[in-house]
Amino acid sequence: MYGAYFAWRARGNAVAAEAISAPYEAFREGVLQVRGYAYVEEGDRLHLSFEPWFVDSLPCREIPCLRLTFRRDGDRIVLERFAVCDGREERPVSLEAAHDALQAWMDCMAD
Protein backbone atom coordinates (compact mmCIF):
# COMPACT_ATOMS: atom_id res chain seq x y z
CA MET A 1 0.00 0.00 0.00
CA TYR A 2 2.71 2.48 0.93
CA GLY A 3 5.34 1.03 -1.39
CA ALA A 4 5.74 4.19 -3.46
CA TYR A 5 6.13 6.26 -0.31
CA PHE A 6 8.82 4.01 1.18
CA ALA A 7 10.71 3.88 -2.13
CA TRP A 8 10.55 7.67 -2.19
CA ARG A 9 11.82 7.93 1.41
CA ALA A 10 14.71 5.57 0.64
CA ARG A 11 16.12 8.07 -1.85
CA GLY A 12 16.74 10.63 0.90
CA ASN A 13 16.53 14.40 1.19
CA ALA A 14 17.42 15.07 -2.46
CA VAL A 15 13.77 14.38 -3.26
CA ALA A 16 12.44 17.31 -1.21
CA ALA A 17 12.36 19.57 -4.28
CA GLU A 18 10.33 17.04 -6.31
CA ALA A 19 6.66 17.63 -6.93
CA ILE A 20 4.15 15.94 -4.66
CA SER A 21 2.27 13.74 -7.11
CA ALA A 22 0.46 10.49 -7.79
CA PRO A 23 -0.94 8.64 -10.80
CA TYR A 24 -3.96 10.71 -11.93
CA GLU A 25 -6.56 7.97 -12.47
CA ALA A 26 -5.68 5.99 -9.33
CA PHE A 27 -5.70 9.15 -7.18
CA ARG A 28 -9.00 10.35 -8.66
CA GLU A 29 -10.63 6.95 -8.11
CA GLY A 30 -9.35 6.87 -4.52
CA VAL A 31 -10.64 10.36 -3.79
CA LEU A 32 -14.05 9.59 -5.27
CA GLN A 33 -14.42 6.67 -2.82
CA VAL A 34 -14.17 9.04 0.16
CA ARG A 35 -16.95 11.30 1.44
CA GLY A 36 -16.78 14.55 3.37
CA TYR A 37 -15.29 17.07 0.97
CA ALA A 38 -16.14 19.29 -1.98
CA TYR A 39 -14.66 18.02 -5.27
CA VAL A 40 -14.45 20.29 -8.33
CA GLU A 41 -12.65 19.61 -11.62
CA GLU A 42 -11.96 22.62 -13.86
CA GLY A 43 -9.98 21.78 -16.97
CA ASP A 44 -6.60 20.48 -15.82
CA ARG A 45 -7.24 21.58 -12.21
CA LEU A 46 -8.77 19.61 -9.37
CA HIS A 47 -9.89 21.37 -6.18
CA LEU A 48 -10.59 19.50 -2.93
CA SER A 49 -11.99 21.26 0.12
CA PHE A 50 -12.59 19.55 3.43
CA GLU A 51 -15.21 22.00 4.65
CA PRO A 52 -16.30 22.41 8.30
CA TRP A 53 -19.97 21.73 7.58
CA PHE A 54 -19.06 18.16 6.50
CA VAL A 55 -17.60 17.44 9.95
CA ASP A 56 -19.69 16.31 12.91
CA SER A 57 -18.49 18.36 15.90
CA LEU A 58 -19.76 20.30 18.88
CA PRO A 59 -21.46 23.58 17.85
CA CYS A 60 -18.98 25.74 19.77
CA ARG A 61 -15.94 24.09 18.18
CA GLU A 62 -14.52 25.76 15.08
CA ILE A 63 -13.18 23.31 12.51
CA PRO A 64 -10.74 24.67 9.92
CA CYS A 65 -11.27 24.08 6.22
CA LEU A 66 -8.48 22.33 4.32
CA ARG A 67 -8.19 23.37 0.67
CA LEU A 68 -6.00 21.59 -1.87
CA THR A 69 -5.42 22.46 -5.52
CA PHE A 70 -3.92 19.99 -7.97
CA ARG A 71 -3.05 20.15 -11.66
CA ARG A 72 -2.97 17.31 -14.13
CA ASP A 73 0.43 16.74 -15.72
CA GLY A 74 0.15 13.95 -18.28
CA ASP A 75 -0.81 10.77 -16.43
CA ARG A 76 0.04 12.31 -13.03
CA ILE A 77 -1.71 14.70 -10.69
CA VAL A 78 0.50 17.24 -8.92
CA LEU A 79 -0.32 19.09 -5.71
CA GLU A 80 0.07 22.83 -6.33
CA ARG A 81 -1.37 24.42 -3.22
CA PHE A 82 -2.48 23.45 0.27
CA ALA A 83 -4.13 25.96 2.60
CA VAL A 84 -5.95 26.03 5.93
CA CYS A 85 -8.84 28.45 6.36
CA ASP A 86 -10.27 29.13 9.80
CA GLY A 87 -13.10 31.35 8.58
CA ARG A 88 -11.17 34.56 9.06
CA GLU A 89 -8.15 34.01 6.86
CA GLU A 90 -6.64 31.44 4.54
CA ARG A 91 -3.10 30.36 5.45
CA PRO A 92 -1.02 28.56 2.81
CA VAL A 93 1.00 25.59 4.03
CA SER A 94 4.55 25.23 2.71
CA LEU A 95 4.55 22.22 0.40
CA GLU A 96 8.26 21.80 1.01
CA ALA A 97 7.83 21.75 4.80
CA ALA A 98 4.91 19.29 4.62
CA HIS A 99 6.30 17.24 1.71
CA ASP A 100 6.56 13.86 3.47
CA ALA A 101 3.07 13.94 4.96
CA LEU A 102 1.37 15.23 1.81
CA GLN A 103 3.16 12.70 -0.43
CA ALA A 104 2.21 9.86 1.93
CA TRP A 105 -1.44 11.02 1.81
CA MET A 106 -1.45 11.16 -2.00
CA ASP A 107 0.17 7.70 -2.20
CA CYS A 108 -2.44 6.31 0.17
CA MET A 109 -5.32 7.85 -1.81
CA ALA A 110 -3.91 6.39 -5.05
CA ASP A 111 -3.54 2.85 -3.61
Name which residue leads in pLDDT, 107 or 64.
107
d(Cα 68, Cα 41) in Å, to the nearest integer? 12
Q: Where are the alpha helices (DSSP H) in the chain?
A: 3-10, 24-32, 99-110
User: What band does 38 get if pLDDT is binned at 50, 70 and 90?
Assistant: confident
d(Cα 111, Cα 107) in Å, to the nearest integer? 6
pLDDT per residue as tens digits for the range 50-84: 876 665 655 656 678 889 999 999 999 999 999 99
* For residues 17-37, average pLDDT: 88
Q: CA 45 → CA 51, 71, 73, distances in Å? A: 19, 4, 10
* For residues 26-47, average pLDDT: 90
Surface-to-core class of residue 70, CB atoms within 10 Å of its CB (0-12 exposed, 13-18 middle, 19+ buried): buried
Domain boundaries, the chain: 3-9+23-110
